[in-house]
């Protein structure tokens, strides 16, 4: 057993670059696990700056000076941020409050529909209906308690939001403006020979950049094109539902299924089973179909090929560790693991030559 472990360590950690990468990964993971709340504004700013830098680099290829490109992109970012904070967030918050206030009446109507089932259909008994109603009542009470706890803790959340609204744009500006200085400072701490780390970064930069920017574009496009038919049909909570539909694309496979339920329930309780209900659900189905069959192939043409099982496992693992950001970066992090496993320097395990155990007389006869 000791020999097996020794051979494994020799295979994967005999190269100094492999040891350096292992130390860097362990140190990064430890910092993120122990200081993630304190460094949250810095991490969020890094992500935003990374997204914006891709646009700046493309503008630089069009012979636009970097300083001018930084100014234009950063100004657009601040404008969009102001729109989200001043217009979108209050509107979504107001509609969410309305939905919570209407939730008891929606639950009461749902109870009445369930009570009518035994009279119309004989496949379910009154006792089963009562059990379903009790389960729904318990879940609604749990949701109400959770919402109440969040409302009681709203003051610290507002203070945190104010701090983020000042720190994050400021950090994003300096990350974009002094990108070269920051990279040179960081590279100065690396060993002179860091070819493997550089190769892994180049591979991840192309793949992660394509994925993250594509995912941001997908959220914006799907959310925007969901709002217009919802608003045209005068669907209640159109802005809130459009935001939910847009954010649902962050979680592969699961998000689209989960967000279908609120769209279905709101449309059903507003119109019942009628032409308006089918129009809304039909347009929602068209948007989901175009997203999966047209938009995703266009935006993620260079995305890495990961098995669906690997994607789901990555979402569960990284989402459990880092919450929303873990879910958002689940696929890039899984890609990082795949790239590391592929590029990890390793030495071949020495294979001992077979020892000839035949007697000398038998060897002489064979010769």
Tell me the pLDDT tens digit for each residue of 194-240. 676 677 777 677 667 777 777 888 888 999 999 999 999 898 888 88
Three-class secondary structure of residue 19 per DSSP: helix
Identify the three-state secondary structure at position 154.
helix
For 114, half-sphere exposure in the C-beta direction (CA atoms, 13 angstrom radius) is 18
Find where tokens 């539909």 sit.
245
Helix (H) or strand (E) holding 210: helix 195-232
Q: Give the separation between CA 177 and CA 56, rounded to whole angstroms.
A: 11
Count of CB atoms situated within 10 Å of the CB of 324: 10
Residue in 61, 31, 60, 58 with CA at minimum distance from that of residue 46: 31
pLDDT of residue 212: 76
Cα–Cα distance for residue pair 35/238, rounded to 1 Å: 38
**Polymer length in residues for the chain:** 367
Dihedral sign of CA atoms 70, 73, 76, 80 in order = negative
Asked if 12 and 344 count as a contact pair (C-beta separation under 8 A), the reply is: yes
Q: Which residues of the chain have pLDDT under 70?
A: 1, 7-18, 32, 36, 110-134, 136-137, 139-158, 193-194, 196-197, 203, 206-207, 252-253, 300-307, 324-325, 341-367
Place of tokens 């970066």: 329
334, 339, 306: which is closest to 319 by C-alpha?
334
190, 197 Cβ separation under 8 angstroms: yes
């Amino acid at each position: 057993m000791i020999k097996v472990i020794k051979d494994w360590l020799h295979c994967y950690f005999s190269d100094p670059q492999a040891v350096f990468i292992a130390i860097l990964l362990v140190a990064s993971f430890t910092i993120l696990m122990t200081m993630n709340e304190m460094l949250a504004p810095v991490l969020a700013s890094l992500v935003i700056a990374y997204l914006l830098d891709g646009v700046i680099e493309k503008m630089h290829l069009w012979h636009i000076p970097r300083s001018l490109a930084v100014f234009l992109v950063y100004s657009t970012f601040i404008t969009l941020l102001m729109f989200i904070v001043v217009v979108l967030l209050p509107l979504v918050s107001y509609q969410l409050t309305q939905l919570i206030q209407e939730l008891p009446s929606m639950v009461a109507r749902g109870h009445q529909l369930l009570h009518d089932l035994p009279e119309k259909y004989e496949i379910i008994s009154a006792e089963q209906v009562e059990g379903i109603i009790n389960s729904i009542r318990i879940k609604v009470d749990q949701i109400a308690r959770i919402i109440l706890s969040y409302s009681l803790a709203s003051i610290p959340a507002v203070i945190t939001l104010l701090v983020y609204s000042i720190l994050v744009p400021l950090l994003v500006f300096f990350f974009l403006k002094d990108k070269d200085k920051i990279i040179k400072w960081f590279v100065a701490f690396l060993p002179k020979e860091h070819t493997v780390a550089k190769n892994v970064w180049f591979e991840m930069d192309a793949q992660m950049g394509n994925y993250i920017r594509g995912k941001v574009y997908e959220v914006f496009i799907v959310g925007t094109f969901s709002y217009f038919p919802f608003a045209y049909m005068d669907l209640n909570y159109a802005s809130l539902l459009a935001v939910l539909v847009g954010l649902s694309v962050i979680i592969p496979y699961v998000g689209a299924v989960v967000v279908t339920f609120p769209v279905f329930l709101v449309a059903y309780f507003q119109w019942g089973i009628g032409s308006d209900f089918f129009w809304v659900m039909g347009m929602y189905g068209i948007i989901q179909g175009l997203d999966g069959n047209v938009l995703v192939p266009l935006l993620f043409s260079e995305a890495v090929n990961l098995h669906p099982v690997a994607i789901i496992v990555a979402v569960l693992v990284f989402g459990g560790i880092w919450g929303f950001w873990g879910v958002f970066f689940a696929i890039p992090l899984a890609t990082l693991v795949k790239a590391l496993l592929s590029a990890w320097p390793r030495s071949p395990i020495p294979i001992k030559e077979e020892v000839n155990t035949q007697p000398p007389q038998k060897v002489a006869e064979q010769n």
